[in-house]
Structure 1
Amino acid sequence: MAGKRKVDNLLALAVLATVQERPMHRYEMASIMRARSKDQDMNVKWGSLYTVVQNLEKHGFLENIGSSRQGARPERTIYRITDAGRREMVEWTRELVSTPHPERPRFVAGLSVLAAIPPGEAADLLRTRLGRLEETIGARRAGLAEHAKDVPRLFLIEDEYELAILEAEAAWVASMIEELASGSHPDLAVWQAWHDTGEMPPEAAELAERGAVEG
């Protein structure tokens, strides 16, 4: 497992990937990254850009090569990527692509306590989610097709991946709705009985107790 990086904010990776193209100042970095929607690819907090660039310079991944001034604007420091910065960018990319990292979407948190909701209501909520997912998928497909007319596929692969994840989620949600609607879900009777009586059925209580002990 890779050790902690000297600058582990993902915004740093976006900065390195941007500055590798040419030297630039922080304002230009931010403008380019915003134009490329980097804040949709990773959790970017724009307010931390100054600190991230400062830390990249501190650890030798960027270097100050002077400053520029346009009109009455204040001087802006120009940075370029170093050889160490290029190595860091490549190694970081290799790690992100090759090594799965546990990620817990909010949906997983909801599913983990889904039994708190009656099966019928759960099915209705999942139908609502499915409808929203389908709207998003349709918009993403249209956007991807439009961008593909002018942008090489290499620069759209993150969009392809996100679309695939959405499609997989929609398929799973649809299958769960079908199980609840048809009565084929194996735990449906126990689940419904819990809400009908207000008491956890013995078999469910046993499973919950076993999980608590094993956890």
Structure 2
Amino acid sequence: MAVATGRRKLRNPLALAVMVLLSERAAMHPYEIAQTLRRRGKEYSIKINYGSLYTVVQNLEKHGFVEFAEVQRHGNRPERTLYALTAAGREEMADWMADIISVPVHEFPIFETALSLLGVLPPDEVMELLDQRLSTLEVQAAATRAVLGKLSETLPRIFLVETEYQLHMVEAETEWVRGFRKEIADGTLSGVAGWRQWHETGEVPAEWRELENEDHSRE
């Protein structure tokens, strides 16, 4: 059974990635972990700070999820400490993965925040800003397709599903933003007349005030 995310000792997704890689191999050095993540293109889906990777590994060791395995020596190169996944780490990894995949979590994206407060800007300005966003989204979609195509030359699809998901989400947002912008432009968006009235006259539409009164009456 999955453990509630809020009770986890570690919440950094990079820690989860470290445990997953250690589950594939008997032992790895943090630098090797970083190189593997880079080869698999995971910097596009996981916020990887290679400088803090050693700290992440140390925290995993502190909580008993990884342990010292051996010291590796190659000629005159500096010694490297290899780490292995513990039984507790394997259980934590599996529970954490199950939790993330099975339980949708609302993450409060900043774009949703802006949409919830959209009325403060005039409709025409919003349409211009949405046009800018559409241009950026189209560039992002093209870049993600290029990354996906490049990575698919050397990696099996199982390592690329998160990039496919990213592309799908960008394309879905592009379609929604384009449709929403059209509704503002042609006046079919419910409430757009009052929205324009507010910015043209400086007065909050009467129907908006009535909505507030209805909310107060329910309290």
Q: So what's the TM-score if we normalise by structure 1?
A: 0.88
Measured in 2, the distance between the counterparts of 1:212 and 1:50 equals 54
2:7 aligns with 4
Q: Greater CA deviation, 21-30 or 108-117?
A: 21-30
Aligned counterpart in structure 1 of residue 21 of structure 2, from 13, 18, 21: 18
Within-5 A mapping of 1:4-83: 4-22=7-25, 23-70=27-74, 73-83=77-87
Deviation digits for residues 81-105 of structure 1, max 9, x if unmatched?
Answer: 1222222212211111111011122
**Aligned residues, how many?**
215
Q: Does structure 1 retain, via aligned residues, the 8 Å contact 2:145–2:167?
A: yes
Q: Greater CA deviation, 204-213 or 70-79?
A: 204-213
Gaps of 5+ in 1: none
Give the secondary structure class of the aligned counterpart of 2:83: strand
Q: Does structure 2 retain, via aligned residues, the 8 Å contact 1:25–1:77?
A: yes
RMSD of aligned Cα (Å)? 2.4
What amino acid is the match of 2:17? A
Q: So what's the TM-score if we normalise by structure 2?
A: 0.86
Higher RCO, Cα 8 Å, sep 6+: 2
Aligned counterpart in structure 1 of residue 137 of structure 2, from 133, 138, 159: 133
Give the secondary structure class of the aligned counterpart of 1:78: strand
Shift of 1:176: 0.7
Within-5 A mapping of 1:1-215: 2=4, 4-22=7-25, 23-70=27-74, 73-208=77-212
What amino acid is the match of 1:201? P
Deviation digits for residues 27-69 of structure 1, max 9, x if unmatched?
Answer: 2222222333333313334343223212212222211022124
Measured in 2, the distance between the counterparts of 1:44 and 1:18 equals 14
Instruction: Percent identity, please.
Output: 46
Measured in 1, the distance between the counterparts of 2:121 and 2:211 equals 18
